[in-house]
Amino acid sequence: MSIGDTCVNEAISAALTQFVAATRWDAIPAPVRHESKRALLNFFAVSMAGCRDPAIVIAARVFGEFSANQQAGVIGRSERTDILNASALNAMSANVFDFDDTHIPTIIHPTAPIAPVVFALAERATIPGRELLTAYILGVEVACRIGNSISPSHYARGWHITSTCGIFGSAMAAGKALGLDASGLCWALGHASSQASGLVETIGTMAKSAGVGAAARNGLLSALLAQQGFTGPDFPLEGERGFLTVMGEIPDTASVVSGLGDRWEILRNTYKPYPCGVVLNPVIEGCLYLSCNSNVTADELAAVTEIEITAHPLLRERADRPGPRSGREAQVSAQHAVAVSLLYRKAGLAQFSDDAAADPAVRTLGKKVRFVDDPRVPLAAARLRILRPNAPAITTTIEVARGSVDKPMTDKELEDKLREICRNIPDGYDPEPLIAAVWSLDETNDAGALMALTHRIRGSIHDA
């Protein structure tokens, strides 16, 4: 199904919701279907990693006081709760370590606010795997297309785009799973538009996770309201005071609907080998290469006078955060990422912890980082120079970082990401049944049954 350019400057919301309502599994190309499974495999990995973070522990305790029922599970935890709270908690778990997927070029993390919603609905009422995957894919498509239209000014003005656009993806995925027609989906867009929020200022704090959780929860709520006849505006996106006009400096409305059904945004999704901001991937890869191949000792690193990073200006804009005070802040600090990669020769969850952020050697080396902005350098590339007294500079260039669109993580690498995370679960967890279930999700008549596998364990996954 394809939507032509005749719709570009009028009835954007109608064209988008008609596409969502009409699209069926059989119309979705095979590469898109496969990519959806890759994204969900990554989603379960990062949710397992984040489910016991203090932010999730606090949120689960607070939400539990207001839970209406026990319809849906929380990944990696024993409690069950209502579908709204389950959606929020699973979205927060997926995003809390900044280890989730990233859509290029918007830098939206699409799966965190969208996947929890369709799985919560699938636990409440039986949904075949193909229908769940279709709803998920369309939710990602809507969120990322809206993000395309307002980027890069939207993020630059301080809006956290995963939250502000993720709520639209959540609403459309939920609406599709609930079987809403185009009119109902348009109402859901309107309800989402009135709740779209999230600020870049919250990055590095628990509040960022709250925004992503709210995007999932409130997107689902938007669809549930629409299902009951709760009406909304006719032009929630393109109206004179609609989302695109209010939230985008000069919105590119054409990008919302042009090529619908021909170009799929999930194919521009990427997955992270490291638990931090995606702009740090080439920097970390370069530092790991140097730390493992240049034979520089810890004493020599202590004597370094400067670490020069030449990269796209977005690296400095997003990750120039000297002296992070916590692991949460370290996830978006180039200074920390450089230092731990060189000193520890690793860049996993432990290297972006509170303990690592407090390491005096890491803090000292991080102070020596200097940025050189070069807009000609692609986002997935970086050049590094380590300057030492009375010795030649050590240099390397990463042309294309692993985990980028042009050098994606393989299916096995995504499986191994889940396996590695599960190895660190204290009482043990066997991820193999979950891996198999994700790859065969389109063959099952009960997609919600997969959620039970997040508790299939050797021993038990105890709550923090």
Amino acid 8: pLDDT: 40
Share of the chain above pLDDT 70, in %: 96
The rounded distance, in Å, linking the Cα atoms of 464 and 456 is 17
The rounded distance, in Å, linking the Cα atoms of 422 and 419 is 5
pLDDT digits (tens, 9 = 90+) for 341-393: 999 999 999 999 999 999 999 999 999 999 999 999 998 999 999 999 888 89
Mean pLDDT of the chain: 93
Which of 41, 221, 243 lies closest to 142, judged by CA?
243
Amino acid 294: pLDDT: 81
Q: Where are the domains of the chain?
A: 5-270, 278-398
Amino acid 160: pLDDT: 97
Q: The pTM is what?
A: 0.93
Extract the residue ranges of the chain whose pLDDT is less than 70: 1-10, 456-464
Amino acid 412: pLDDT: 98
Q: Looking at domain 5-270, what is its CATH homologous superfamily?
A: 2-methylcitrate dehydratase PrpD (1.10.4100.10)
Amino acid 10: pLDDT: 57
Three-state SS letters, the chain: CCCCHHHCCCCHHHHHHHHHHHCCHHHCCHHHHHHHHHHHHHHHHHHHHHCCCHHHHHHHHHHHCCCCCCCEECCCCCCEECHHHHHHHHHHHHHCCCCCCEECCCCECCHHHHHHHHHHHHHHCCCCHHHHHHHHHHHHHHHHHHHHHHCCHHHHCCECHHHHHHHHHHHHHHHHHHCCCHHHHHHHHHHHHCCCCCEHHHCCCHHHHHHHHHHHHHHHHHHHHHHCCCCCCCCCCCCCCCHHHHHCCCCCCHHHHCCCCCCCHHHHEECCCCCCCHHHHHHHHHHHHHHHHCCCCHHHHHCCCEEEEEECHHHHHHHCCCCCCCHHHHCCCHHHHHHHHHHHCCCCHHHHCHHHHHCHHHHHHHCCEEEEECCCCCCCCEEEEEEECCEEEEEEEECCCCCECCECCCHHHHHHHHHHHHHCCCCCCCCHHHHHHHHCHHHCCCHHHHHHHHHCCCCCCCCC
pLDDT digits (tens, 9 = 90+) for 436-448: 999 999 999 999 9
- The CATH class for the domain spanning 278-398 reads alpha beta
pLDDT digits (tens, 9 = 90+) for 119-176: 999 999 999 999 999 999 999 999 999 999 999 999 989 999 999 999 999 999 999 9
